[in-house]
């Protein structure tokens, strides 16, 4: 079914993707549907919004041995392809079922993305949208997976010496909270 899906046909093809934040237990994940006719840059923004990240750090895709992200400059070849130049349907060919998305190179949040299906667009449905998901995304700048679990441990113990500092820094945080309607609203925001 995936063969021959060109740019013209991709406008009517919808990619259903499962996004899982690696090294989180229980897993933090989202399932989204997006048009195959969008640029990889737009897909990155949709993933950030669906997950709940605030887009304050660099990100890149690792797909089939190639990196797609922000190209630093033409003078310096860092091996990264500018993701504003590539369309989802052209990069995610029929042989690519799984790839990675990395957000915040300091905290190194790695997301495994599985292309679950490529579906025909349904008339009357507003794309993109979040189909489902579980658990809240960690706060930005928390220090990666280790920092996130330390943060959760502190918040679970009001007598912890860092409890008040963490609460004032992040506000209330419920690790189990996820609202697919809110994720969809963020994804559809211009």
C-alpha 141/C-alpha 118 separation (Å) is 34
**Does residue 159 lie in a domain region?**
no
Across the range 117-137, mean pLDDT stands at 96
| Res. 2: pLDDT tops 90 | no
- Predicted local confidence at residue 93, as pLDDT: 87
Helices (H) and strands (E) in the chain, counts: 6, 8
Q: How far is CA 101 from CA 43, 65, 83, 105, 113, in A?
A: 10, 13, 12, 11, 7
In a domain, residue 69? The reply is yes
Q: What is the pLDDT of residue 58?
A: 95
- Is the link from the previous residue into 63 a cis peptide, with omega within 30 of 0? no
Give 54-108 pLDDT, tens digit per residue: 999 999 999 999 999 998 766 666 789 999 999 999 999 888 999 999 999 999 9
Count of residues making up the chain: 190
Q: What is the 3-state secondary structure (H, E, C) of 89-108?
A: HHHCCCCCCEEEEEECCCCC
Q: What was the pLDDT predicted at 77?
A: 63
Quote the domain boundaries for residue 105: 7-136+178-188
Answer yes or no: is 2 within a domain.
no
Dist CA 55 CA 140 (whole Å): 9
Q: What is the pTM of this model?
A: 0.90
List the CATH number of the domain containing 19: 3.10.290.30
The number of folded domains in the chain is 1
Question: What burial class does residue 114 get, using C-beta atoms within 10 Å of its C-beta: 0-12 exposed, 13-18 middle, 19+ buried?
Answer: middle
Asked whether residue 61 is domain-assigned, the answer is: yes
Q: How far apart are CA 166 and CA 87, in angstroms?
A: 41
What is the rounded CA–CA span in Å between residue 74 and residue 70? Answer: 11
Does 147 reside within a domain? no
Q: Which of 177, 173, 168 is nearest to 148 (CA)?
A: 173
């Amino acid at each position: 079914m995936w063969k021959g899906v060109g740019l013209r046909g991709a406008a009517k093809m919808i990619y259903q993707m499962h996004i899982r934040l690696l090294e989180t237990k229980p897993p933090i994940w989202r399932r989204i549907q997006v048009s195959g006719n969008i640029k990889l840059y737009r897909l990155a923004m949709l993933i950030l919004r669906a997950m709940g990240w605030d887009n304050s750090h660099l990100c890149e895709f690792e797909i089939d041995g190639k990196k797609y992200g922000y190209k630093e400059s033409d003078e310096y070849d860092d091996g990264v392809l500018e993701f504003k130049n590539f369309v989802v349907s052209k990069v995610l060919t029929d042989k690519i079922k799984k790839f990675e998305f990395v957000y915040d190179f300091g905290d190194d949040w790695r997301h495994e993305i599985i292309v679950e299906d490529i579906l025909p667009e349904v008339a009357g449905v507003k794309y993109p949208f979040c189909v489902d998901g579980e658990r809240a995304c960690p706060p930005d700048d928390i220090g990666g997976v280790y920092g996130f679990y330390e943060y959760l441990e502190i918040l679970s113990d009001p007598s912890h010496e860092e409890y008040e500092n963490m609460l004032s820094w992040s506000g209330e945080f419920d690790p189990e909270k996820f609202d697919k309607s809110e994720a969809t609203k963020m994804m559809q925001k211009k």
